[in-house]
Structure 1
Amino acid sequence: MLTVEHIAPVMSFYVDVLGFGLSDYIEKPFRAYFFHVNARHHSLALIETGTNGMHHLMVELFSLDDVGQAYDVAQQEDRVNVTLGRHTNDLMTSFYAKSPSAFMVECGWGGREIDPVNWTPFEMHDGPSLWGHERVWLSPEDRAVAREMRMRAAAEGKRAPVQVMEGNFKLMSGTCPWWDGVKAES
């Protein structure tokens, strides 16, 4: 994710010149636009902050346990800048750590894949995260907006299946009324 003074001129470069596709965007609690170049939900994101720079880079790990263990290390080193949480758009479970270079490193697992040819961009109204991801870098007012959006998503029962790679899961026996309902809607 890059911080930009204004999204429109930068978006024009990435979309019109380089051929990135718009995945989705949010307007609250901050303006952010997400772009894809392949099946990965987004390879680039822009956040409008009034300044140009690097916001964060993301590394996707093989195991949720890798994320949890990295989170423990980051907490021990007092480097957590965004708590553990799950994004609404790419469904990534992640946290963000402060790097020595004044940008954050997102450690995540379970990123969403899309069909870039048939994908339709949309505005997300549920905020950037389903749960967690308390952003210490936001103003108190914007943190309150983000928290309210997460609480509304929870109250409305917003859920999404985890995204896993072949061999990185074990199916459980039993039933889950929520999941059975999701499958029945498909």
Structure 2
Amino acid sequence: MNDYDASSVFGAVHLGHIVIETNRFADWRRFGEDAIGMHCDRLDIGLMRFRLDERECRFLLRRGPAEDVVATGWHVDDHATFERIEARVRAHGVPVVAGTAEEARQRGVERLLRFQGPKGIVQEICTTPVTSAEPLRMLSSGWVTGDSGMGHVAITSARPALMRGYFDTVFDARLTDYIDETISGVKLKIRFLRVNERHHSVAIASVRGLPIDPIRTRVQHLNIQAAGLDDVAQSYERVHRLGFDMALSVGQHTNDKELSYYARTPSGFEWEVGWNPIVVDETTWEPSTHQGISIWGHKPVGQTIIDKLDQFRLGARSLARPERTVPALSGAGIPDD
């Protein structure tokens, strides 16, 4: 791996919270609390939070029409690293806005800054998370967070080199590996980036040879890691029983070996519940390419030819609307190794 670099923030950054904008609060509460099994707190008529652990907030849902992820929050270990990232972003000429005291309170953090991110997803950095004395009320036995952060975000992109360049510039993200996959005749390349010991905190999927994005939402899926295999199985059963759509059945991934399933959220993007992914050993890890996303399973559930045609239509429409990038933080992009 890379020689030690005192200026690097790698290892001190962790996916800390996600902000979702939706008008489907009742459906989201049933999905998050009753199906997935997270702790839910309703703050007021326009705000709701899900907890996974002792922290006050891991998912903040606010009322609005996007039906999408609108911000990803990165917990930074200490104030010095926080200020290093802030200075880095400002040095590239990108505006940085301080969150208000109320915005920080909603996210359960002490310090909050936000700046532009790829695909219009605001990137937030924060320090000193607030913990709750209220015991967790949730159907799951627990979720894996800690040094690895709380899971990952998967994004589709027509400009994957620029997106990879962005996360390298801002967070010193490292390439973990690639997956080549063909779905319905469309060839995809997926890049997996890590910012700490978790195999990946960001996955970037692109259509090979075509500058299209076949996904309506800014994110393709979010992932959280269950503490036990029983938690995966029981939440899978609850998703079915409560009538939520399943996107992919239970399976195991080729690269991080995580066993998981994918449900479809009330806002349309997917939600992966996984268990037991490998942890990267920085002293020995070398990037490689895997063929196919799964060793077994992860079969589409309920997908029809109409669904496939809709995806092709969305991809065609994306040609007419350039993907939002942040050139100042993306350099010239990072080509594939």
CA contact (8 A) 1:15 1:22 kept: no
Q: Where in structure 2 are the equivalents of 1:22-171 lying within 5 Å?
A: 22-29=175-182, 30-49=188-207, 50-51=212-213, 53-76=218-241, 77-125=243-291, 127-136=292-301
C-alpha separation in 2, matches of 1:17 and 1:37:
10
Secondary structure of 2:260's counterpart equals: strand
CA contact (8 A) 1:4 1:53 kept: no
Structure 1: which 5+ runs fail to align? 144-186
| Closer, same or farther: CA 130–138 of 1 in aligned 2, 3 Å | farther
Larger Rg computed on CA atoms: 2
C-alpha separation in 2, matches of 1:57 and 1:116:
25
CA contact (8 A) 1:55 1:103 kept: yes
State the identity as a percent: 33
| Closer, same or farther: CA 68–111 of 1 in aligned 2, 3 Å | same
C-alpha separation in 2, matches of 1:80 and 1:136:
6
Structure 1 stretches of 4+ moved >6 Å: 137-140
| Deviation of 1:18 (Å) | 2.3
| Deviation of 1:137 (Å) | 8.9
C-alpha separation in 2, matches of 1:61 and 1:83:
16
C-alpha separation in 2, matches of 1:17 and 1:44:
13
| Deviation of 1:70 (Å) | 0.7
CA contact (8 A) 1:38 1:116 kept: no
TM-score normalised per structure 1: 0.69
| Closer, same or farther: CA 136–16 of 1 in aligned 2, 3 Å | farther
1:9 corresponds to which residue?
Answer: 162
C-alpha separation in 2, matches of 1:105 and 1:47:
16
| Deviation of 1:27 (Å) | 2.4
CA contact (8 A) 2:180 2:190 kept: yes
The one-letter amino acid paired with 2:193 is F
CA contact (8 A) 1:67 1:108 kept: yes
The one-letter amino acid paired with 2:238 is V
Secondary structure of 2:181's counterpart equals: coil
CA contact (8 A) 2:180 2:293 kept: no
Q: Tell me how large the CA RMSD over aligned residues is.
A: 2.2
